[in-house]
């Protein structure tokens, strides 16, 4: 059984939270990281500790699971080794021998090239330049690096064997649909496709082996870096969004006030990039993009995160019926638009602040 978890908007949907919950609750045998590379920043709050992960799968919170990084994922060896140490996962975390390696020169290109830095607004992690070098067929691979030797494996072989013997595999993708090199808001995108099919390729399984595709959305849409953002909340349009007006006034009341309405909202909601520390732009939920991404991902299930940030009265609620009526209406409207069942609702930071409706509401 394979479940792939992907982002439905522009990344930072809260995949880390959802994946760590599934890792603990569903007890998968293998948790495999797909996606672009260390440009991703997944935040996990577990046992009163916060982990900001860019390489090690967020599912590490399940101490029995085998953790794999697929061949499609770029690896920054220094960052990888640091996270292995921080998460205490040595001995159960492995990467494919064919993972592309990010070197200093790639990070330098990513931060110095004005097209990448200023126009695209990249994370500076070296991912784009490394993928460009892979396409040029000069990029070095994990098997060329002695310090990674003890971590190398054949990820597709492991994953396919596990699936064939009835084991559970949880696949964590990174970034989000709107950042796909093919289907996103080109050229303001990342250096690879970000849909579920790509995640399957990243870890080396065919489409027929995937049982579930869970698309994660945040209750509102955010974006870090450049590129268009539908219904971004501004001075000009906030009066058209009563819920946002209410949140804004709440922010100001609590003493938060920045240069613009949008920056005030970002500060109030705690929307700051995990990798870069840049403040994210805030927008109303982008239903059109959500629907389109559900289609291209062939979503079988959806999750909504940060519902407590829009509706503070829902913080830490673990029962659907205990959500406020306005929150339930909000969720049900999204569900009827995207036409995918919303089966997980996150109501707080902690792994267990969640409503799980996979066995009915």
Please identify, using beta-carbon distances, which residue of 188 and 311 lies nearer to ligand IMP. 188
40 binds ligand IMP (CB under 6 A): yes
Least distance from C-beta 110 to Mg ion, angstroms? 17
CB 87 within 8 Å of CB 52 = no
CB 71 within 8 Å of CB 141 = no
12 binds ligand IMP (CB under 6 A): yes
Task: Find the binder of Mg ion among 4, 10, 12, 29 (CB under 5 A).
Answer: 12
Residue 6, both tokens: 């992907």
Please identify, using beta-carbon distances, which residue of 39 and 300 lies nearer to ligand IMP. 39
Q: Which does 121 bind (CB under 5 to 8 A by kind): Mg ion, ligand IMP, none?
A: ligand IMP
Distance between CA atoms of 167 and 159, rounded to whole angstroms? 9
User: Per the residue annotation, which of 42, 45, 106, 268 is the catalytic one?
Assistant: 42
179 binds ligand IMP (CB under 6 A): yes
Biggest CA pair distance of the chain: 59
Residues 22-41 as x/- pattern, contact with Mg ion by CB under 5 A:
-------------------x
Stretch that binds ligand IMP, among 34-42, 101-109, 264-272, 282-290 (CB under 6 A): 34-42
Task: Find the binder of ligand IMP among 82, 98, 121, 153 (CB under 6 A).
Answer: 121
Neighbouring-strand partners of residue 356: 344
| Cα dihedral sign, 16-21-22-27 | positive
Decide if 12 is catalytic: yes
Neighbouring-strand partners of residue 79: none
CB 249 within 8 Å of CB 36 = no
39 binds ligand IMP (CB under 6 A): yes
Q: Return the number of other C-beta atoms located less than 10 Å from residue 140's C-beta.
A: 14
Stretch that binds ligand IMP, among 22-30, 94-102, 185-193, 330-338 (CB under 6 A): 185-193
Distance between CA atoms of 60 and 48, rounded to whole angstroms? 15
Q: How many residues bind ligand IMP (CB under 6 A)?
A: 23
Decide if 136 is catalytic: no
CB 284 within 8 Å of CB 231 = yes
User: Per the residue annotation, which of 9, 12, 45, 96 is the catalytic one?
Assistant: 12
In the three-class reduction of DSSP (H, G, I as helix; E, B as strand; rest coil), residue 254 is classed as coil
Q: What single string gives the DSSP state of each residue in 135-179?
A: HHT---BGGG-GGGGGGEE-HHHHHHHHHHTT--EEEE--S-GGG
Task: Find the binder of ligand IMP among 191, 221, 301, 346 (CB under 6 A).
Answer: 191
Please identify, using beta-carbon distances, which residue of 14 and 77 lies nearer to ligand IMP. 14
Binding residues for ligand IMP, per CB under 6 A?
A: 10-12, 36, 39-41, 120-123, 125, 127-128, 174-175, 179, 188, 190-191, 224-226
Binding residues for Mg ion, per CB under 5 A?
A: 12, 41, 274
């Amino acid at each position: 059984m394979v479940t792939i978890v992907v982002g439905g908007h522009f990344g930072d949907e809260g995949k880390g939270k959802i994946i760590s919950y599934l890792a603990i609750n569903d007890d998968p045998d293998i948790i495999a990281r797909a996606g672009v590379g260390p440009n991703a920043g997944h935040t996990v709050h577990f046992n009163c500790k916060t982990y900001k992960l860019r390489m090690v799968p967020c599912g590490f919170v399940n101490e029995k699971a085998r953790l794999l990084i697929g061949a499609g994922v770029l690896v920054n060896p220094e960052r990888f080794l640091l996270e292995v140490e921080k998460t205490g996962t040595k001995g159960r975390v492995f990467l494919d021998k064919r993972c592309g390696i990010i070197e200093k020169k790639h990070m330098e290109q990513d931060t110095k090239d004005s097209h990448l830095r200023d126009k695209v607004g990249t994370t500076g992690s070296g991912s784009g330049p490394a993928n460009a070098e892979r396409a040029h067929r000069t990029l070095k691979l994990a098997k060329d690096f002695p310090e990674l030797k003890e971590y190398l494996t054949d990820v597709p072989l492991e994953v396919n064997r596990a699936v064939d013997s009835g084991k559970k595999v949880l696949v964590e993708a990174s970034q989000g649909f709107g950042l796909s090199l093919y289907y996103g808001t080109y050229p303001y995108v990342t250096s690879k496709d970000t849909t579920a099919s790509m995640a399957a390729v990243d870890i080396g399984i065919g489409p027929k082996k995937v049982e579930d595709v869970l698309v994660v959305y945040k209750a509102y849409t955010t974006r870090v870096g450049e590129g268009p953002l539908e219904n971004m909340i501004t001075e000009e349009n906030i009066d058209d969004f009563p819920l946002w007006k209410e949140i804004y006034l709440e922010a100001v009341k609590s003493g938060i006030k920045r240069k613009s309405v949008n920056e005030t909202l970002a500060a109030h909601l705690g929307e700051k990039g995990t990798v870069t520390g840049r403040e994210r732009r805030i927008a109303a939920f982008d239903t059109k993009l959500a629907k389109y991404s559900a289609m291209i991902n062939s979503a079988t299930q959806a999750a909504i995160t940060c519902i407590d940030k829009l509706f503070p009265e829902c913080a830490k609620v673990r029962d659907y019926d205990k959500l406020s009526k306005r929150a339930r209406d909000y969720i049900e409207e999204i569900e009827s638009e995207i036409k995918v069942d919303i089966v997980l609702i996150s109501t707080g930071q902690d792994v267990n602040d969640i409503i799980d409706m996979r066995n009915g509401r």
